[in-house]
Every structure is written in C-alpha cells, then in structure tokens.
Structure 1
Amino acid sequence: MAAVDGSSRFGNVRWARGTLLHDLQPADRSALLTLGTQRSFGVGEALMIEDDRGTDAFVLLEGCVKVVGSAVDGRSILLSIRIGGDLVGELGALHNTPRSASVFTATAVVARAISQRTLARFMAEHPVAARAIHGAVADKFRRATRHRIDINGASVRNRLALVLHYLAETYGRPHSDGIRIEVPLSQPELASLIGVSEPSLQRAVRELRDQDVIKSEYRRQIVRDPEALRKLATQGGGPPDNEKG
C-alpha cells in the first residue's frame, strides 16, 4: 500500500450513476476529494477486515473492491462489489462499530482514506452531503434486501442472468464480442453472489454459453446477447430450485 500525491486528476471524472460521488453536489464532491490521505492498493489487498475495530472510511477513486463476509460454517461469502465513486467502511466511521465485512481489492485501487473525526467534521459542515451519505447507506441495505428477494424463488439460470445483467449494466465495457464485465470473479465468488453451489453455477454457465448469451474468459464473462440476458433476468424463471448453496 502506498501513498499517492494529489487528487486533482479526479476532479472532473464522470462518476458512475448510483455512486456517492455521482450524487454529491459539485462543491461537496470537491471538498470530500481533498479529505484524508490518497492511497494506492494492489490486487488482493485488504482495505478492512471483518470484526476489526478500525474506523477509517474509504472513498474509492479507481478500481473495484469485493465486500466479503464470513458464514457460520467459516466459508467466505461475496456480498457485493463497489467501484470508483463509492464510499466503503462508513458504518464503522459513523457508528463506531466493528467492521461488518471485509473489503478486498479486485483490481488495482486508488482511494482516499478518511478518519472518523475528519468524516464527522465534513458531514457537520456539509449537511446536504451528510444526507447523501446516510442515503447511500440506506440504499446499500435496500439493494441487499432486493437482491435476496430476487434470487429466492428463481431458477439457477435466472439467478445467474439477474446478477450478470446487473454486473454488465454497472461494470460492463464494450468488447468485440459484446459487453465485457470488468470485474474479476472466480466461479466460487460468482456462485456465492447468486446463492448456489459451484456445480449448479457451472451448469447454468454452460447453458447460457450454449445459448450464445455469454462467453467465458478467465475470471471474466462477456455478454454476447444483452437483450436475451435481460429477458432471462426479468422473467423470473419458474419454480424455485432446491438449492441452498
């Protein structure tokens, strides 16, 4: 982990819709981007560890991270993904509670590490931004609840389509074969995102490949037929699988 000089090159970035930096007013965004210390992280580094008492929050500027939790049986469960423009670790900073999950880099990441005291002062001085931060926290819980509702009762194929459709819309980039999802996910990680076992995931991936809806690369998926994937993601998928992951 290394410090990086300056944050001016991020001042004019067009942040992805739905991220905190996209939703902030320009003056609040500029103020937030000057806070704390800018740092760079290599692939696979931890920004925070579950149950740790750290209280720094991180504004992601480049790259993406994986939010990982521990199941009661000791398995690591991929809970969500965060990208440039998102704020992570804010629950510990706002409520002084142990980390509810671990956050690891999925790609090289640049972020600003902001102390609890600095974030609290910023929120007191920027009430509109404070509401946006609290709103972002609430939105994360809403999305998590919606995700659990959507994947319960759907077939494994449709669960996979739902998650891949979301990833393609949020993290997709044009590719010669379609839309390439720029998030490196192993099959166990993708299986944990949709709440199924790895063999069940592999069967669903093969089915979508055979239908020429997706194409697989190492730790990447390319959506070859976005419209077919969208239809699978929104149609439900019939009776639920007896799949508990």
Structure 2
Amino acid sequence: MAEHESHQSNDSPLLETVSLFQGLAPAERQEVYQAAHHRAVEKGELFFVQGEEAHTLYVLTQGRVRLNQLSPEGEQVLLRVIVPGQLFGGVAVLSGTAYPAAAEAVVPSEALGWDGETMARLMERYPAIARNALRLLAERIQELQERYRELATERVERRVASAVLRLARQTGRKVEGGILIDFPLSREDLAAMTGTTLYTVSRILKRWEKEGLVEAGRQRLLIRSPHGLVALAEDLPPALEAPS
C-alpha cells in the first residue's frame, strides 16, 4: 500500500495526551484535529528526509518511527524513537529550519500532520499552543545538552546504560522477566548513539548478560535488572551484600 493522505472530520481522544495541545478545551481540540491531514506510510518509508525544508509537524497515531541522523562521516545515528501520541518534526517546523533527521517508519505507521502555516494560525487563535511549543523547544534543547554532556564527560559503560534506559522509557514494555525494548535495536545503533565502537558495545552487553542485567538478542534487548542499569547510569557504587 502506497502512502496516502486525507483530511479528518472526527474528534480524536489521542490529542488529549499530546503535550503541544495541553490546556485546550474539547471544542478547541476538535478544531485542531479537523485542521490536520492524515498520513499513512509503509514499513521502511519516510515521513521526511534529513535536510528537507521543514513543512509539516506530525503526531504519530499508530506504529513506530525512528529518527535517524546521518553524520558527516556517513554514519547513521538513531536519535529518538517515536511512539503513538508523540510529536515529531515539530522543532524544525516551529523554528523555521530544515529537518535535522529523517523519520523512518519501522512498521506500517500513521500520523496526523499540520503544515507550518496552519499551525501558525492555530497558535495565534489559541495562545496555549504557542506556550506549549516554547516549553517543548526548551525541553528538547535541555535534552540535547544532556546528551552532549554525557558524550563529553561520562565513561562508555555509563553512556550505554543511559542510552538503553532512555530507549526503555520511550518504547519499553513490561514482560515476564523484565522490560523489553519493543523496537528493532542493533548494537550498531547503540554504538552510534553513545559515541563508541561496535566492539565496545558488544563487550559491554556480553558482560551485562553474565551479570544478569540484560538479555541481548540480534535486534532485541530485554532488561532483566532495571535497577542495576540505573545504578550504572548514575555511577552509583555497587550494592553491598547483607552480612549472613
């Protein structure tokens, strides 16, 4: 099925959970929803490409999307995982810049989209949207600053633990035995995200498996001890065993 777009006419309760539209009355959310267009793409297709002039911000309604950025060295870096209810492409549209990354559907995915002109009109009509947008921009800047700090100051194992926990928050789900990162995740992804090598990531994951922290598959990661990873990410001393 090729990607397609259409306009919506019915209300969507999903907008109640979207940070950009917090504080709007039901009738106001209805107007925002009716101003959107619906877009569906197949697995492996792109909502937008890196470097393209930003024209539309999206809210994912179904599926999974990965934001990939191509480094100057030609290395693909996983920046973020988008799940239903989350906004993507918004920072670029709201700041009037090009998309800094590509948005790839990992599975067949659907989203609501608003072009920049429509969103500007909605912000003028409903100042709460503009206030929320400023807050979201500030949060994203803070997140980027934290990522840079990690790369500049933290040892590799701590960076990998932080990245795994970040992905778990974005797309993890509780299963028997722990938390499964419900997203195709390769060791190359983790290496690129944390500024290290594939060999180093493989070595760390192998040690974590021996310690019972994780169970690593080809493109899956089960976190068996979330508290253990938190201790590594926060550089806490190992817990002392109680005396017998």
TM-score, L = length of structure 2 = 0.84
Give the total of aligned pairs: 234
Cross-structure match for 1:83: 83
Q: Partner of 2:144 in structure 1?
A: 144
CA distance in 1, matches of 2:57, 2:136: 13
Greater alpha carbon shift after TM alignment, 199-208 vs 180-189: 180-189
Aligned residue in 1 for 2:13: 11
Distance 1:20 1:13, change over 3 A: closer
Aligned counterparts of 2:236 and 2:181: Cα–Cα separation in 1: 22
1:170 CA displacement = 3.1
1:136, distance to aligned residue in structure 2 (A): 1.0
Matched residue, 2:176: 176
Paired amino acid for 1:165: L
CA distance in 2, matches of 1:10, 1:222: 33
CA 1:123/1:9 → structure 2, altered by over 3 Å: closer, same or farther? closer
1:156 and 1:102 map into 2 onto residues whose CA distance is 26
Deviation sequence 1:88-138 (CA, Å, 0-9, x none): 222443343322222212333220121121111111111011111221122
CA contact (8 A) 1:178 1:224 kept: yes
Q: List per-residue Cα deviations over 1:17-76 (Å, max 9, x = no partner).
A: xx5258454535444333321122222211111121241111222233222222222222
Task: Provide structure 1 residue ranges, at least 5 long, that are not aligned to the other structure.
Answer: 238-245
In structure 2, the residue matched to 1:197 is 197
Q: 2:78 is paired with a residue of what secondary structure?
A: strand
The equivalent of 1:44 in structure 2 is: 44
State the distance in 1 between where 2:121 and 2:227 align.
Answer: 46
Q: Tell me, what secondary structure is at the counterpart of 2:34?
A: coil
* Alignment partner, residue 232 of structure 2: 232
SS in 2 for 1:59: strand
Give the conservation status (yes or no) of the 8 Å contact 1:158–1:236: no
Return the alpha-carbon distance in structure 2 between the equivalents of residues 236 and 144 of structure 1. Answer: 23
1:169 is matched by which residue type in structure 2? Answer: R
Q: 1: CA distance between counterparts of 2:120 and 2:21?
A: 20
Larger Rg: 2
> Which residue of the partner structure matches residue 241 of structure 2?
none
Q: Is structure 2 residue 133 aligned with structure 1 residue 133?
A: yes
Residue of structure 2 in register with 1:2 after alignment: 4
Q: Which residue of 2 aligns with 1:20?
A: 19
SS at match of 1:33: helix
Shift of 1:167: 2.0
Could you tell me whether the CA contact under 8 Å between 1:57 and 1:87 is conserved in 2? yes
Which residue of 2 is the match for residue 243 of structure 1?
none
Counterparts of 1:9 and 1:182, CA distance in 2: 29
AA matched with 1:125: R
Q: Secondary structure at the match of 2:153?
A: coil
**What amino acid is aligned across from residue 142 of structure 1 in structure 2?**
Q
Tell me the TM-score normalised to structure 1 length: 0.84
2: CA distance, partners of 1:219 / 1:29: 38
